[in-house]
């Protein structure tokens, strides 16, 4: 169920973008949650369209009476508990593949903001929501939702969040193929359950499996750790044993780590874009 904080965040983002575009004589148009974005024209999915909480569209050819038919340059979704699966998985996949330049998830339950850039392959960047966040697609524009975050409900505990996300596991098992399938299974099930399913044959080394489980535990132990953060680091690390070892060594040798510290380390690796 959407609440007052949900609407306040959308209004705040809309006002900030509207003022910026107006002050810079921009031609891009702003749309909120009642306008359809036809993702099916760019991605192979079952849904014909979605209703982003906020988006900026700069291609006038894509603006029609029934909705938007060209990729926005910026999209923001503001979470409610029942939208976690869509915002962090299905919409993330769709926005990446249709070419959205920048995507934000404003998580009112966790009181954080996760930002994704197309130029960085949508690798998650986690912000704690207590400071102004820079908008990459509009240099000079910053968004501050800290006051709204303070009024939001208390953050949900990890077990409650995972229960919400588990509601989507049947969609995956019944054939919906998305890039984050393996990561979702790691995060939704215990590691023993994960390695007993169809992914077992992809991991042949017991030491490698133990290290992935260890890495997952260590990532969750970092303050303000989050689903998107753990998903990205585990997905990167599990492809090569040497990646796993490097990330584990970095975590073990560092103090007072934040999710952003780990993300920066991973993105600095020479094989990050492989």
> Which sequence spans correspond to the domains of the chain?
4-151, 180-267
Q: How far apart are CA 44 and CA 30, in angstroms?
A: 26
CATH fold for domain 4-151:
tt1808, chain A (3.90.1570)
At residue 174, the pLDDT reads: 54
Q: What is the pLDDT along the chain (274 residues), one digit of tens a residue?
A: 456 788 999 999 999 999 999 999 899 999 998 899 998 888 766 567 889 999 999 999 999 999 999 999 999 999 988 887 788 888 888 898 899 999 999 988 888 898 999 998 888 888 888 888 999 999 999 999 988 887 665 544 444 445 544 544 445 455 544 434 444 444 444 444 434 444 444 444 445 566 777 888 888 888 888 777 787 788 788 778 788 889 999 999 988 888 888 888 888 888 876 6
Count other C-beta atoms under 10 Å from residue 24's C-beta: 11
Bridge partners of 71, per DSSP, are none
At residue 209, the pLDDT reads: 60
At residue 197, the pLDDT reads: 46
CA 262 to chain CA centroid, nearest Å: 16
CA 88 to chain CA centroid, nearest Å: 5
At residue 238, the pLDDT reads: 77
């Amino acid at each position: 169920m959407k609440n007052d904080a949900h609407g306040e965040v959308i209004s705040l983002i809309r006002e900030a973008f509207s003022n910026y575009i107006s002050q810079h004589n921009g031609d891009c148009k702003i749309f909120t949650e009642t306008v359809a974005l036809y993702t099916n024209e760019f991605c192979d999915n079952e849904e014909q369209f979605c209703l982003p909480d906020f988006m900026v569209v700069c291609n006038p050819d894509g603006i029609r009476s029934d909705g938007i038919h060209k990729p926005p340059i910026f999209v923001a979704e503001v979470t409610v508990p029942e939208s976690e699966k869509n915002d962090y998985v299905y919409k993330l996949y769709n926005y990446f593949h249709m070419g959205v330049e920048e995507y934000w998830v404003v998580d009112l339950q966790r009181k954080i903001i996760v930002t994704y850039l197309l130029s960085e392959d949508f690798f998650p960047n986690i912000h704690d929501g207590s400071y102004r966040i820079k908008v990459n697609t509009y240099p000079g524009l910053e968004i501050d939702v800290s006051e709204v975050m303070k009024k939001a409900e208390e953050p949900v505990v990890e077990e409650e969040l995972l229960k919400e996300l588990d509601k989507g596991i049947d969609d995956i098992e019944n054939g919906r193929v998305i890039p984050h399938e393996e990561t979702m299974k790691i995060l939704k099930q215990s590691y023993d359950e994960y390695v007993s399913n169809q992914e077992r044959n992809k991991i042949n080394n017991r030491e490698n499996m133990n290290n992935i489980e260890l890495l997952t535990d260590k990532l969750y132990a970092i303050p303000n750790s989050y689903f998107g953060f753990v998903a990205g680091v585990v997905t990167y690390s599990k492809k090569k044993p040497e990646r796993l070892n490097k990330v584990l060594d970095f975590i073990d040798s560092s103090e007072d780590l934040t999710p952003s510290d780990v993300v920066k380390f991973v993105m600095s690796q020479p094989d990050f874009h492989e």
